[in-house]
Structure 1
Amino acid sequence: MSHAPASRLESETQPAPSATHTVFNQAPPRRDINEFALNTALREAVDAYAPTASTVELNRIGGLVGSADFINDARLANEHGPELKTHDEWGNRVDEVEFHPAYHRIIGEALRSGAHSHAWNQPGPSANADRAARFMLFSQIEPGHACPVSMTHAVIPSLRADVGLAEFWLPKATASDYDPRRVDPAEKSAVTFGMAMTEKQGGSDVRANTTRAIPNGDHCLITGHKWFCSAPQSDAFLVLAHLEQGLSCFVVPRILPGGGLNSVRIQRLKDKLGNKSNASSEIEFDSAAGWLLGQPGKGVRTIIEMVSQTRLDCVLGSAAGMRQSVAEAAWHARGRAAFGATLIDQPLMRAVIADLQLESEAATFTAMHLAAVHDDDGTDAVDFRRLATAVGKYWICKRGPEHAYEALECLGGNGYTEAFPLARRYREQPVMAVWEGSGNVIVLDVLRALGREPRTAKAFLGFLETALGRHRDFDAAYEGLAGSLHTSLEAVTSGDPARIAGIQRSGRVLVEKMALLMQSAILFDSAPAEVAAGFASARLGPDRGREYGALPDDVDIDFLVERA
């Protein structure tokens, strides 16, 4: 009996090498797509609220932000965030913020595309809505850079309070270009703006600020400490400081005329939960030069227009984040199979995707409607947006984090990793609710408007009345809100501290009702009937669920899933 060599026997009995890392049953990369063309709700909202917008340009932007290069830049800008350099190698104070080149590429594209300036450079009936669509497309993929873009857009109404300052700064702030150089603003064709209002002892109560300004010729010398200053790399800031006449607003440039560094000291960059690509800082003014903007003692009145515009952009940013969330969830569900079927064909997953899409559509149409109202300076429109912007900011921004979480869960373990964008989005969404007035501040603002400007309630109810008779759940909810608003108006104008305190305790309930009815009315006005009816039933009806995916039977799930 012969025997084969041992080496031959071993080779015949050992299993053949196997490929353990063949990738299958994974969704393909969501890259090189057109984010505008795929966003059915945004396209329809543009048709409704910005009919003169260039769809060619919006498609160009959609292709740009959906490109693999732009998406990779978004990752790089967040993984390699801004770094503070307080001194140069010789010990000179420089207060410079360094960014990864990806950040400069992203914000440069946004500014050159008019994400900050289009509404001012092309004024007209739908200018703000057109600009909103551009802003949302960029914010959907990389939200951090949107902060200085938003502030540069929002500063324009405030700058108009002074002819001389406006003449110098407006052409540069509205230029469709980007120049990050740290040089005399007179040498630049394009600038960006930041804002510094809050201090550690006061927060949203800006009248508690301790920063002081002393007149010094044609400007003032400002000394104080600001707990939050976003985008400290900006060319100039609107700053609140006290004169003898009271709290006043100033334009404080980072670089002085002639090229010298103004004494705006960056103490540190904030280590934030999210918003990693954007620099937020704590700064100190040491006799910094600032030029009075508006009337002395009227600083809040001067800067409030900027705050109003940035509040709207918080709504736009939250809506953009919702679109990213549901788009990523739906993409994954269409490319992944489990338990014998593609996820998108599983009834439970379809219900979740449909509900996420419903929330996203309500936010998108509401954001575009609010932007369009800013193009109308008629009395009714101004009164309506006084309440509607605050109400929308409160509710849509609060819905953002939970929406991002539910979308993240649709991706399973992948969603919880940094390799996919929804972990970053989950951390990002809360900032829109915190900035420009957190929840309680916004509710108090709504109640203040009702007390000081009762006509705003009339304008708000007048808009809601346009949707009466379209859905039984809307009609029933409207009757309840009308009664609640009447009670609130009586209380806030009564002067009775006990009644006012009672209304404040229930203020969130009131504003939530206002928000849901406003969104519903907007959808009945502009969205497909299936979306509007589904929202009224799912958000206002007796069978509404608490979690996403708990939908009443009459919601058209197939229609919503297709739009996702």
Structure 2
Amino acid sequence: MSPQGFDFQHTVNQVPVLDNYNAFTTHTALQNALAAYGGNGFKEQAKTFGALMGSHEMQEAGSLANKNPPLLKTHDRFGNRLDVVEFHPAYHRMMDVSLRHQVHSIAWTARQDGGYLAHSVLSYLKQQIDEGSSCPLTMTFAVVPSLEIEPDIAREWLPLVLSNEYDRRHVPYFEKKGATFGMAMTEPQGGSDVRSNLTFARPKGNGIYQITGRKWFCSAPMSDAFLVLAQAEKGLSCFLLPRFTPDGEKNQLRFQRLKDKLGNRSNASGEVEFHEAWGKIIGEEGRGIANIMEMVRHTRLDCAIGSAATLQRAVAEAIHHCNHRSAFGKKLIHQPLMKNVLADLSLESEAATTLAMRLAKGFDDALLDEEALHFTRIATAIGKFWNTKRAVLAVGEALECIGGNGYVEESVMPRLYRDVPVNAIWEGSGNVQALDVLRAMHKEPASMEALLNYFNKAKGLDGDLSRHLDSLQQLIADTAEQELKARIIVEKMALAIQAIELIAIAPSSVAQLFCESRLSVKRNFTWGTLSGSNSLDEVIARTYSA
């Protein structure tokens, strides 16, 4: 201690780093959803993976991979094209661990046994250490149904896609122990309007085409192969483009640069040119959008899961902080207004997590039930829209709970804050999702019927919910200016699904608090405005309990 009586050697009232914890067993709401939706058979696997994802080693890997982003190496020292992306060892560590634990493959290897639910829980836990490396994992998972459209391609590629070995070597795919996939859909002039794509494909016979053109966003350019959209004689078509041709030559994919992104920095996103690149068509000419949409529908599921995961991680950080930090004579967690904010964020987290896992259950159910298939087709767009929107707002509020220590780069919070918006943009922005729901309402009557049946069965479960559903029905029935009101309709649909599922699987106190705060006429629009304090501790503990 200094002569003046001030201790310069020790800092007090600071919060320990949240690591070396189990991200699954400390999250009651996630455990509850897994059990309620029939996934208890995967509980031990989730518990093991949760401990690994919460470990200091994996938390540090996420940090290092984002501090040391990937680099594009276009040429070797002699001027030969390479087009390789180099990563920090921490990135490869995360990929290796994730593939070995079947994050990408379990949905397909455990079909009809809750495989999608297992995938979603593992993806949820993985997302919490790093957003960027989750991107290639998602696309490798999601590419399976598109590859299955073409039996010859499926026979050649699925064993590599479903392999649980991470093979980072830049060699022809047929020499590898496992493969990862990326995708390249959008172009500079069109963005989400892929029908305006200019990249074209010239047939060479036997389903082989030469692809020429340019893509503005190529996701995961280090992948072994990509799904690509290009114009053929009969219209926009879907193609498989590997990094190496079947004869072992480097394919004519030339990467121009990597994007300098707001977040998602551990992951590479690039601009690419195709110079008569070797490609093989998937399905028929002119069916490109329909064929690649099978992949997109699955990536949208992971967007809803990923946003719920990042939201929960941010709220867990806030709860952890408030459990350790004192102000004005007591722990922050015991300050009534802070408790209200944390409970409100925790309620949002549980609703988002439950919605994401209910979508996963829908994918599982759809393997055996046609109505579940139709329900899931429209509900996925709804869930992707809502979870990605709410997570952006909630992460910002969680950061505020931590204050200045959450705003500095040594904290994980700035990375979460930068990362979370990508899910709202990738695979179709909010407007695209809302318009997809409208399209399904009018062009896929079976999907709308399945959704309305689901809503009708829930009437009478809760007064606020019933009034909400009546209001939603009136909106749907009013066809005037529906496109203008699309977001209002989809928001009400999302809230209704969240309420119904919380009533079904969460404690009644949690479900009632959600309905009162999200569906009633007294609804407020800032966090920390819950009325009544009886269940706040319970709600907080369900999101994170050390």
After TM superposition, the score normalised by the length of structure 2 is 0.97
Q: Which residue of 2 aligns with 1:6?
A: none
Amino acid at match of 2:454: F
Contact 2:28 / 2:541 at 8 angstroms: preserved in 1?
Answer: no
- Offset, 1:422: 1.1
List alignment gaps of at least 5 residues for structure 2: none
Cα gap change, 1:536 to 1:17, in 2 (>3 Å): closer
Counterpart check, 1:393 vs 2:384? yes
Matching of residues 350-499 of structure 1 within 5 Å: 350-377=339-366, 378-487=369-478, 491=479, 499=480
Q: Which residue of 2 aligns with 1:3?
A: none
For residues 282-303 of structure 1, the C-alpha deviation after alignment (integer angstroms, 9 at most, x for no partner) is: 1110110000111111111111
Q: Which residue of 2 aligns with 1:514?
A: 493
RMSD value over aligned CA atoms? 1.3
Matching of residues 177-256 of structure 1 within 5 Å: 177-218=165-206, 219-256=208-245
- Paired residue for 2:45, among 50, 54, 57? 57
Q: What is the percentage of aligned positions where both structures have the same residue?
A: 47
Contact 1:269 / 1:280 at 8 angstroms: preserved in 2?
Answer: yes
- Cα distance in 2 between the residues matched to 1:66 and 1:300: 39
- Cα distance in 2 between the residues matched to 1:333 and 1:78: 26
- Offset, 1:380: 1.2
Matching of residues 44-83 of structure 1 within 5 Å: 44-83=32-71
- Cα distance in 1 between the residues matched to 2:310 and 2:241: 32
- Cα distance in 2 between the residues matched to 1:465 and 1:554: 32
Contact 1:523 / 1:532 at 8 angstroms: preserved in 2?
Answer: yes
Computing the radius of gyration over CA atoms, which structure comes out larger, 1 or 2?
Answer: 1
Contact 2:237 / 2:285 at 8 angstroms: preserved in 1?
Answer: yes
Contact 1:401 / 1:430 at 8 angstroms: preserved in 2?
Answer: yes
- Cα distance in 2 between the residues matched to 1:449 and 1:80: 42
Contact 1:444 / 1:504 at 8 angstroms: preserved in 2?
Answer: yes
Q: What secondary structure sits across from 1:53 in the alignment?
A: helix
Q: Which residue of 2 aligns with 1:130?
A: 118
Contact 1:42 / 1:364 at 8 angstroms: preserved in 2?
Answer: yes
- Paired residue for 1:327, among 311, 316, 327? 316
Matching of residues 76-155 of structure 1 within 5 Å: 76-155=64-143
For residues 455-501 of structure 1, the C-alpha deviation after alignment (integer angstroms, 9 at most, x for no partner) is: 322211221233322221111101111121122xxx3xxxxxxx4xx
Amino acid at match of 2:504: D
- Offset, 1:16: 6.0
Number of residue equivalences? 539
Amino acid at match of 2:353: T
Q: What secondary structure sits across from 2:239 in the alignment?
A: strand
Q: What secondary structure sits across from 1:260 in the alignment?
A: coil
Q: What secondary structure sits across from 1:141 in the alignment?
A: coil
Q: Which residue of 2 aligns with 1:347?
A: 336
- Paired residue for 1:267, among 256, 262, 265? 256
List alignment gaps of at least 5 residues for structure 1: 1-13, 492-498
For residues 159-207 of structure 1, the C-alpha deviation after alignment (integer angstroms, 9 at most, x for no partner) is: 0111111000011101112111111101112100001111111111111
Amino acid at match of 1:54: F
- Paired residue for 2:510, among 509, 519, 531? 531
Amino acid at match of 2:419: E
For residues 59-90 of structure 1, the C-alpha deviation after alignment (integer angstroms, 9 at most, x for no partner) is: 11111111111111110000000011111111
- Offset, 1:115: 0.7
Q: What secondary structure sits across from 2:420 in the alignment?
A: helix
For residues 500-535 of structure 1, the C-alpha deviation after alignment (integer angstroms, 9 at most, x for no partner) is: xx1111111111111111111111111221221111
- Cα distance in 1 between the residues matched to 2:316 and 2:158: 37
Cα gap change, 1:108 to 1:479, in 2 (>3 Å): same
Amino acid at match of 1:162: E
- Cα distance in 1 between the residues matched to 2:533 and 2:52: 38
After TM superposition, the score normalised by the length of structure 1 is 0.94
For residues 81-113 of structure 1, the C-alpha deviation after alignment (integer angstroms, 9 at most, x for no partner) is: 001111111111101100000000001111111
- Cα distance in 1 between the residues matched to 2:41 and 2:345: 27
- Offset, 1:18: 4.7
- Cα distance in 2 between the residues matched to 1:20 and 1:526: 51
- Offset, 1:263: 0.8
